[in-house]
């Protein structure tokens, strides 16, 4: 069984990476700030309330949404629940093993959760059925099917596309005060499209959408989620390295621009899916 040791990047490849970066390119031919081919396919799991499959280069993930009734938290009696989880399936890589999530997977789950939650893509008060007693709980579960770097962005796009195309049951309160499922399905009301952009710092240069090899040699990583061309709602620096303040400012600039372009792509694939 291969261990994570096999992830060591051959020195020759690393040298090649640095050489290309100094010329403004990467070893797969991309420019420094260019993302890999992205495909977003909503509605792949019909039994789920919402779903989307995303491939970003060779990284492949599926997000599935299940909406169930639940009890609200004590301190937010009129808000629904949003729970976002992520999991790297053992099929996704030779070194991935079944079992409880490790720190990396927990970080992935929490960063994607915050990117979705803080964007206010949905208004949780819209999901209250009876204040203090019954609300809707929206579970967004992301499963990684194949790992080739930048799980943060792929998972985020899948979760967002799934939310944008999800349907939830419509409830009504009967004359006797009972909660009844009308059997109708209505789309979720979504306010905006948050877009996550992950960047790696390699040899003091920022590159967008790192592959697994690039993540293995990078000094540090920064993921930023933007909601419009001028606003940010979440961010996380990762990996044992450091950014200068100027690099952070460049990263934010890049994320805002990239966010706009990916936002258009997500919108397009959602519109396509809704036509069907």
Partner 1 sequence: MSKLLNSKNRRLDGRKLDELRPIKMEVGVIDNANGSAYIEFGRNKVMAAVYGPKDVHPKHMMKTESAILKCRYHMTPFSTGTRKNPAPSRRETEISKIISEALEPAIVMTDYPRTAIHVYVEILQSDGGSRCAGVTAASLALADAGINMRDLTSGCAAGKIDGKVALDLDEVEDMEGDADLPMAILPNLEKVTLLQLDGDFSHKEFIEALKLAKKGCLKVYEMQRNALNDKYFGNGKA
Nearest distance in Å: CB 238, partner 1: 6
DSSP labels for 29-42?
A: S-BTTPPPPEEEEE
Binding site for partner 1 (CB under 8 A): 103-104, 106-107, 109-110, 114, 118, 120, 220, 222, 227, 230-245, 248-249, 252, 256
The smaller minimum CB distance to partner 1, of residues 69 and 228, is found at 228
Nearest distance in Å: CB 168, partner 1: 25
Nearest distance in Å: CB 174, partner 1: 35
Residue pointed to by tokens 């290309």 = 20
The smaller minimum CB distance to partner 1, of residues 81 and 220, is found at 220
The residues, ordered by sequence, that sit 6+ positions from 107 with a Cβ below 8 Å of its Cβ are 236, 238
The smaller minimum CB distance to partner 1, of residues 28 and 249, is found at 249
The smaller minimum CB distance to partner 1, of residues 255 and 270, is found at 255
* Structure token pair of residue 260: 């706009």
Cα distances (Å, whole numbers) of residue 78 to 127, 179, 217, 261: 8, 16, 46, 35
The smaller minimum CB distance to partner 1, of residues 12 and 103, is found at 103
* Structure token pair of residue 88: 């790297």
Q: 3-class DSSP state for residue 239?
A: coil
Nearest distance in Å: CB 6, partner 1: 15
Measured distance CA(61)–CA(59) in Å, rounded: 7
The smaller minimum CB distance to partner 1, of residues 59 and 119, is found at 119
Residue 141 C-alpha from the chain's centroid: 10
Measured distance CA(244)–CA(205) in Å, rounded: 11
Measured distance CA(92)–CA(233) in Å, rounded: 29
Give the CA angle between residues 139, 266, 24 to the nearest 5°. Answer: 115
Is residue 79 a contact partner of residue 169, using CB atoms and an 8 Å limit? no
Nearest distance in Å: CB 224, partner 1: 8
Nearest distance in Å: CB 37, partner 1: 28
The smaller minimum CB distance to partner 1, of residues 44 and 192, is found at 192
Q: Which residue stretches of 23-140 are H helix?
A: 103-117
Nearest distance in Å: CB 241, partner 1: 6
Is residue 218 a contact partner of residue 205, using CB atoms and an 8 Å limit? no
């Amino acid at each position: 069984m291969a261990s994570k040791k096999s992830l060591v990047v051959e020195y020759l490849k690393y040298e090649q990476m640095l050489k290309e970066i100094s010329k403004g390119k990467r070893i797969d031919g991309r420019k420094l700030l260019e993302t890999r081919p992205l495909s977003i396919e909503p509605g792949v799991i019909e039994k789920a309330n919402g779903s989307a499959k995303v491939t970003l280069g060779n990284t492949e993930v599926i997000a599935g949404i299940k909406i169930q009734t639940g009890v609200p938290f004590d301190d937010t009696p009129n808000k629904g629940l949003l729970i976002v989880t992520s999991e790297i399936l053992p099929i996704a890589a030779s070194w991935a093993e079944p079992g409880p999530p490790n720190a990396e997977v927990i970080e992935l789950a929490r960063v994607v959760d915050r990117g979705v939650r803080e964007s206010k893509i949905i208004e949780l008060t819209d999901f209250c059925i009876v204040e203090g007693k019954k609300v809707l709980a929206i579970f967004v579960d992301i499963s990684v099917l194949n790992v080739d770097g930048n799980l943060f962005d792929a998972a985020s796009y899948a979760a967002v596309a799934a939310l944008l195309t999800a349907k939830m049951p419509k409830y009504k309160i009967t004359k006797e005060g009972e909660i009844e499922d009308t059997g109708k399905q209505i789309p979720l009301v979504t306010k905006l499209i948050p877009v996550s952009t992950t960047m790696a710092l390699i040899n003091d240069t920022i590159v967008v959408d790192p592959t697994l090899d690039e993540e293995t040699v990078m000094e540090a990583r920064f993921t930023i989620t933007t909601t419009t061309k001028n606003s940010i709602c979440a961010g996380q620096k990762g990996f044992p390295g450091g950014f200068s303040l100027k690099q952070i400012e460049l990263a934010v600039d890049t994320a805002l621009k990239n966010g706009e372009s990916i936002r258009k792509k997500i919108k397009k694939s959602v519109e396509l899916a809704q036509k069907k």
